[in-house]
Structures are given as C-alpha cells and as structure tokens.
Structure 1
Amino acid sequence: MTRILVLLALLVLALPAAAQSPAAAPPPAAPAMAPTAAPNAVEAALPGITAGHAAALGAGMFVGAMAGSALINGGAVAALVGAAAGLTIGHWYWTERPDETD
C-alpha cells in the first residue's frame, strides 16, 4: 500500500511540470516551398528495413507474444519473451527467404 501511495505522490508532483507550456511565441512561418526529406536520407537512416521486412517483424512479434502468453501460462513477462522470440524468427525468415527475382 505504501508503494502505491508513493507512486501516486510522484505522479502528482510530475503532472504540473508536464502541463507547463513554453512561452507563447508565434510559430515560425513555413516557407512557400518547404523542402522534403530526400529518399536517400531516409534510406541511409534505415538501410535494411522495407515494408515487407517490417510486416514480417510485426507479424512475428504478434504471434510470438500470443504464443508466449498461451504457452507460459500468461503474464507480461511471457508475452515479452514470446514477442522477442517472434521478432527474432520474423527477422530470420525475412533475411533467409529465397528471393523470387534470383
């Protein structure tokens, strides 16, 4: 009970600080032709992630979390372990699958 009260007290102290906003300065005017991020800059930031790779990672993470929760008798730790395993399997499948264009 003491832990819960201490946690709530810390949250009450943090809420006013989170609610403060910076000085009311007008937002800077956007130029007429705002530059967009070049595709090369995006590709440099995420070199090996494609839409299919992200889908494989997400599907593996979801199925792993569900299987971990079911097989290890539920709980957040079980879901976390299953999600990590599913993420690993999804990444392995995406990197080792045969490419149709070869």
Structure 2
Amino acid sequence: MPRLLLLLAFLAFALPAHAQTGGQAASPAPRTGTIALPQVQLPTVPDLTAGHAAALGAGLFAGALAGSALIQGGFIGAAIGAIAGVTVGNWAWKEHAAED
C-alpha cells in the first residue's frame, strides 16, 4: 500500500511538470484550401412523428417496468418487457392513427 501511494504521489507531481514544458511546440501551419465533401441524402423515416415517438417511449418504459416486476427483476425481464412494450406502443399508435 505505501508503494502504491508513493507511485501515485510521483505521478501527481510529474503531470503538472510535464504539462509546463516552457516553450511552444511547433504547430503546423493552418491549411487554406477547401475540401468539397459529397452531399449525402439521408434516408427518411416515413411514419415517425412526435406522438409516435412518445408512444414508443411510454411503451418502452412501461414494458421494462412491468417486465422487471413480473419476471423477478433483472436485465432479461426488463429487456423482454421493453420489447413487448415497444411492440404494444407501436400497435396502439398505428391503431389510433388509423382512426384519424
């Protein structure tokens, strides 16, 4: 234990001394040219609205909570519940949107 503390003390004293080198390192000159980047068309998500995202988030939360409670807690129960909750949230939103 004393050796570990001594090593940490040496490292603590060495880091500020290493950071203050005294002189400026030679930095490369900034580039003046421009680079033409290709324009990428991102895919669109056709049916995802703010309400749909809220329904998925609510289903995810409620499903994870219920799965964790009903399957005696743990990651597996929460994951199964979250998948079921997202599925139910998506189904409920699609049925609700079909009525409008």
Aligned to 2:78: 79
Aligned to 2:47: 48
Percent identity, aligned pairs only, is 57
Change (3 A) 1:73 1:27: farther
1:1-102 to structure 2, matched below 5 A, reads 45-97=44-96, 98-99=99-100
Task: Point out the structure with max Rg over C-alpha.
Answer: 2
Aligned to 2:16: none
Change (3 A) 1:79 1:45: same
TM-score by length of 1: 0.55
What is the total number of aligned residue pairs between the two structures? 66
Aligned-partner residue type, residue 63 of structure 1: A
C-alpha separation in 1, matches of 2:90 and 2:53: 9
Aligned to 2:9: none
Displacement, 1:94?
0.3
Displacement, 1:78?
0.3
C-alpha separation in 2, matches of 1:25 and 1:63: 56
TM-score by length of 2: 0.56
Q: Secondary structure at the match of 1:48?
A: coil
Backbone CA RMSD of aligned residues: 3.0
List structure 1 runs of 4+ shifted beyond 2 angstroms: 24-28
Unmatched segments (≥5 aa) in structure 2: 1-27, 33-40
